[in-house]
Amino acid sequence: MTYDKTLQKHIRCKKGDVAPYVLIPGDPGRAKRIAEKFDSYEKISENREYVVYTGTKDGEKLSVCSTGIGGPSASIAVEELAKVGAHTFIRVGSAGGRGEDIPVGSVVLVNSAVRGDGTSHEYLPEIYPAVANMDVTMALMNAAGNYLKDEKYYIGGSYTRDAYYMQNEELNNILLNTDVVVSEMECSTVFIVGSKRNLRVGAIVGTDSNIIKKKQLTLKQKDELYWKAETKTIDIAIDALVNMSKEEA
């Protein structure tokens, strides 16, 4: 490996390796599935949970970087990607639905987050809101409308938390019937890092479960529904970044 002075410790990328517009899934496998939607791409690096691809789609340069699970690793990815030239990010993730009316396999645009994570509090105090960038959210809305046509999608907040297997029943009840429509593990972190570092960050997720629903599906049923939603979220996120890149060129 050539140790360029701009080489980043964790993502192992240097200046020129990464596009200004980046998709940030948690799952390295999803990162590859995103890159495979590009017209052309190459793997730039692979280290720990971070796999980075850069390519082109409709003539626009895009990158994708997996962030692993949770806020600490996601914050590292965004910080290091920004240091080598990225400024606009879309988290492409999975989430649990938090309303009886949100089916498994739904597409959700996340516009804000309840800060149940720990990492975001290292950046800004609890009083500061975790909100998605409006430019990115509008681009996602336009892309979702064009892609899904009359198919329903959701817009709302996420409850971002750190302990996957722990439930706060009191808070779950408080959040019912609010605009917090999903739960996941990265949105509030990446939104706050974006606010602190003057970066644009948005998010789109597919629901792979819903603990609120009275009737629970089998894992096989949930997986089948989620994979369909993942394809939609990937296509919408790519379209949103391509459109932003073209408009801002």
pLDDT per residue over 6-25, tens digit each? 999 999 999 999 999 999 99
Host domain of residue 145: 21-248
In the chain, the amino acid numbered 42 is E
94 closest CA partner among 192, 232, 218, 198? 232
The stretches in the chain having pLDDT less than 70 are 1-2
How many structural domains compose the chain?
A: 1
Specify if 65 maps to a domain: yes
Specify if 9 maps to a domain: no
Specify if 133 maps to a domain: yes
pTM of the predicted structure, to 2 decimals: 0.97
Specify if 104 maps to a domain: yes
Specify if 11 maps to a domain: no
Specify if 75 maps to a domain: yes
Specify if 79 maps to a domain: yes
Return the pLDDT at 2.
67
Specify if 3 maps to a domain: no
Return the pLDDT at 3.
82
SS3 string of 8-71? CCCCCCCCCCCCCEEECCCCHHHHHHHHCCCCEEEEEEEECCEEEEEEEECCEEEEEECCCCCH
- Asked if residue 66 lies in contact with residue 37, where contact means CB atoms within 8 angstroms, the answer is no
Nearest-angstrom CA–CA distance, 204 and 244: 16
Return the pLDDT at 153.
97
Q: What residues does 50 pair with on adjacent strands?
A: 47
Q: What count of other Cβ atoms lies within 10 Å of the Cβ of residue 31?
A: 26
Nearest-angstrom CA–CA distance, 49 and 28: 7
Residue 139's domain is classified under what CATH number? Answer: 3.40.50.1580
